[in-house]
Structure formats: C-alpha cells, structure tokens
C-alpha cells in the first residue's frame, strides 16, 4: 500500500502538518525533528498524493502539450524540447495527440484533462479563434499561425520571411522554374498560406512570373503526400528546376518521387524543405531547409506559460517570435 502523511507522522511521532512542512521545505522545523521525519519518509518510501495536493493547492505541476500527430518528426522533436524546458520548472508534461481534428482540438482546449493540468501548450491545426473565445479555464500558449488575433499567448516564427529567403536561395542558384508543394485551400492551412506568400514575394522580387501550374496542393504534409504531389507535377508535364516543399516530410517524399522518375537532385532539380527534421540531415541527398529554433520555441512557450501561471492571468496576450536559419545542404548544391 501507499503511505500517507499520517503514516509518516505516526512513525516520526509528530503531527501530520509537521511532516507536510518538512516535505514542503518550511523553515521552522528543528533539525532533529526534520531528520526524524525524513528518516520516516525514506523508510516508508512516502510520496505525496498529487491529486490531493492539487485539490488543496490548485496546482498539479503538470502541463499538457497538444500536437496534431506525434509521428510527424517535427512535433516529436518539439515535444522533446518542451519536456526538457518544462523540467527546468519542475513540471511534468502530458502529451496529447489531437489528430488535427477540430472536435478533438476543441475538447483538448476546453480541457479534456480538466483540472488535472496547470496549463496547456497547444499547436492547433483546425481550431478557430471562436473555439477559444470564452474559454476561461486553463492558461494556454499557442504555437504557430493557426489562431491569430490574440486570444492567448503565442509563439511563432516569421514564416513569410523564412519562405522568401529559402526561395531566394533557389533563385540565386540560378533556378527559374521553381515549384511549390504543400499549398492548401482550406482555412486550416495557415502555415501553408504564409509560406506560399513568402514564395510569391521572392518570385516577384526577382522579377519572375508566378505560374500556377507549378504550385501543387497537399492536403496533409506527410511523405506520401509530397511524393504524390511531385509525381503529379512531373506527369502533368511541367518541368521545374527546383522545388520548395512547405515542410521536410513533403520534401523527403518529393526526393523519393524524383528518384523514381530518374531525376538527380540537385543536378536536375533542386529541393528545399522547411522544419529541419533529423531525417533531412541523413537523407540522400541531405536536405536544404529552413531550421526553426525548436529549442527556443519550446523555451519561449514554457516561459510564457510560467509567467501566465504566476502572474496576471488577465494581462493582454503576448506574442513572441522565435529565430530560424537556413540550413543549406546537398539538395541545393552538388556535394
């Protein structure tokens, strides 16, 4: 059986509250009393009941991270950094997988975990600002562009500028027929919209025409979608000399499709992605990409949450921007 404060108290011959004071590091406890209590704690292997503590204190020391899918490497890597950053505050991270479905996201946002968690870091795909309006519950930090107009603190990266820079890199290498893979018509494609904007900006700045046939949609951003989109571009007869994929998994799929079509990368077609997932550092060829500083994103998100928990919960929402850099590898230049 698990032991309670009461058991420890009886063993140490003190009151329940004194044991509680020892556990919580209260100063006014005589050294010998403290020692006796600590001994009893060790002997019984006592561990506080977090539910009871939460019920009393209103804090659990647990925060949640909600992401669309864990087996998208970007989110898995991000999750690792969030867990690490949260550990610095003594927090445990509960990871929730929403599948990107609006209903599930709404459930998570309105607190599926209910009173179990102190705060939420949330990377929504389908959720709208309206879904969040009127949520008075758990403090929340949003990741990414999906929900704008500040219903909650947010951490973003400058997608438009990053997309413009990586596209400009392709242009500077001499590419002129640059395809884009990953555009999305739906409202849900907030990142897609911004990255497409950066792409068109770069074309315009270089005096290149925007050619709609070079822009391939992708409803999801998995490897299979990237491969399918690339095959579609190739069979439709457009012959790009470079491809900007809106994330790395799309790009890895595109690399595969180009390989199957007998085209060499980067000699025949240059390829860039976005996210800097680990796969891209070992793919053949290695993948040029936009590398958001995931560690920084995680740290900022945890920090915003900490401020919100300790500080003014009604203060206006803050928005922080995380840095990124271009990671230029083999897929845009011969080894």
Partner DNA sequence: CACCGTTTCTACAACGTTGTAGGCAACGTT
Partner DNA sequence: AACGTTGCCTACAACGTTGTAGAAACGGTG
Residues in touch with DNA (CB under 7 A)? 2, 4-6, 13-18, 20-21, 23-24, 27-30, 33-34, 46, 48-49, 52-53, 55-57
Beta carbons within 10 angstroms of residue 209's beta carbon: 9
Cα distance between residue 136 and residue 93, in whole Å:
21
In whole angstroms, how close is the CB of 137 to DNA at the nearest point?
A: 13
Q: What does 92 interact with, of a second copy, DNA, none (CB < 5 to 8 A by kind)?
A: a second copy
Which is closer to DNA, CB of 55 or CB of 284? Answer: 55
Q: What does 327 interact with, of DNA, a second copy, none (CB < 5 to 8 A by kind)?
A: none
- The reply to whether 7 sits near a second copy by the rule CB under 8 A is no
Query: Looking only at residues 255 through 294 of this chain, which bind a second copy when binding is defined by CB under 8 A?
Result: 255-256, 259, 278-279, 281-284
In whole angstroms, how close is the CB of 60 to DNA at the nearest point?
A: 12
Cα distance between residue 106 and residue 134, in whole Å:
12
- The reply to whether 77 sits near a second copy by the rule CB under 8 A is yes
3-state secondary structure of 334: coil
3-state secondary structure of 299: helix
Which is closer to DNA, CB of 114 or CB of 212? Answer: 114
Q: 227 with 257: CB under 8 angstroms?
A: yes
Q: How far is CA 214 from the centre of its chain?
A: 29
Cα distance between residue 177 and residue 243, in whole Å:
9
- Burial grade of 94 (CB within 10 A; 0-12, 13-18, 19 or more): middle
- The reply to whether 252 sits near a second copy by the rule CB under 8 A is yes
Q: What does 16 interact with, of a second copy, DNA, none (CB < 5 to 8 A by kind)?
A: DNA
Among the listed ranges 157-165, 173-181, 197-205, 247-255, the one in contact with a second copy (CB under 8 A) is 247-255
Q: How far is CA 224 from the centre of its chain?
A: 21
Which is closer to a second copy, CB of 35 or CB of 52? Answer: 52
Among 136, 209, 212, 267, binds a second copy (CB under 8 A): 136
DSSP state of 53: H
Q: 6 with 37: CB under 8 angstroms?
A: no
Which is closer to a second copy, CB of 196 or CB of 230? Answer: 230
Distances (CA, A) of 69 to 139, 169, 200, 221: 22, 30, 29, 11
In whole angstroms, how close is the CB of 223 to a second copy at the nearest point?
A: 4
Cα distance between residue 170 and residue 333, in whole Å:
10
In whole angstroms, how close is the CB of 121 to DNA at the nearest point?
A: 24
Which is closer to DNA, CB of 28 or CB of 149? Answer: 28
- The reply to whether 209 sits near a second copy by the rule CB under 8 A is no
Token pair belonging to 83 = 């867990």
Sign of CA dihedral 70, 76, 80, 83: negative
Task: Determine the longest span between alpha carbons in the chain, in angstroms.
Answer: 85
In whole angstroms, how close is the CB of 198 to a second copy at the nearest point?
A: 26
Among the listed ranges 55-63, 190-198, 205-213, 240-248, the one in contact with a second copy (CB under 8 A) is 55-63
DSSP state of 216: E
In whole angstroms, how close is the CB of 115 to a second copy at the nearest point?
A: 4
The sheet with strand 153-156 has its strands ordered as 92-97, 62-67, 119-122, 140-143, 153-156, 319-321
Query: Looking only at residues 148 through 207 of this chain, which bind a second copy when binding is defined by CB under 8 A?
Result: none
Which is closer to a second copy, CB of 22 or CB of 65? Answer: 65
Q: Which residues bind a second copy (CB under 8 A)?
A: 1-2, 45, 47-52, 54-55, 60, 62, 69-71, 73, 76-77, 79-80, 83, 92-97, 110-116, 136-137, 222-224, 227, 252-253, 255-256, 259, 278-279, 281-284
């Amino acid at each position: 059986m698990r032991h309670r404060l009461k058991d420890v108290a009886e063993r140490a011959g003190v009151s329940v509250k004194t044991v509680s004071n020892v556990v919580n590091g209260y100063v006014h406890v005589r050294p010998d009393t403290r020692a006796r209590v600590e001994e009893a704690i060790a002997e019984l292997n006592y561990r506080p009941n977090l539910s009871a503590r939460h019920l009393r204190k209103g804090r659990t020391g647990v925060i949640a991270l909600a992401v669309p899918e864990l087996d998208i490497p970007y989110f898995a890597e991000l999750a690792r950094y969030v867990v690490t950053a949260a550990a610095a505050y003594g927090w445990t991270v509960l990871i929730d997988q929403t599948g990107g479905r609006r209903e599930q996201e709404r459930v998570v946002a309105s607190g599926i975990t209910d009173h179990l968690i102190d705060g939420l870091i949330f990377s929504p795909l389908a959720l709208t600002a309206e879904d969040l309006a009127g949520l008075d519950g758990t403090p929340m930090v949003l990741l990414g562009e999906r929900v704008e107009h500040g219903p909650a603190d947010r951490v973003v990266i400058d997608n438009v500028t990053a997309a413009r820079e990586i596209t400009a890199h392709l242009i500077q290498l001499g590419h002129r027929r640059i395809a884009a893979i990953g555009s999305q018509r739906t409202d849900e494609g907030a990142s897609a919209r911004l990255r497409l904007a950066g792409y068109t900006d770069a074309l315009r700045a270089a005096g290149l025409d925007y050619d709609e046939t070079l822009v391939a949609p992708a409803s999801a951003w998995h490897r299979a979608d990237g491969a399918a989109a690339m095959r579609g571009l190739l069979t439709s007869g457009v012959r790009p000399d470079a491809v900007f994929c809106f994330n790395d998994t799309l790009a890895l799929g595109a690399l595969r499709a180009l390989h199957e079509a007998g085209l060499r990368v980067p000699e025949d077609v240059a390829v860039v992605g976005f996210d800097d997932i680990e796969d891209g550092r070992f793919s053949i060829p290695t993948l040029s990409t936009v590398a958001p500083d995931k560690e920084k994103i995680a740290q900022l998100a945890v920090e915003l949450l900490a401020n919100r928990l300790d500080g003014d919960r009604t203060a206006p929402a803050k928005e922080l921007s995380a840095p990124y850099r271009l990671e230029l590898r083999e897929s845009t230049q011969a080894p």
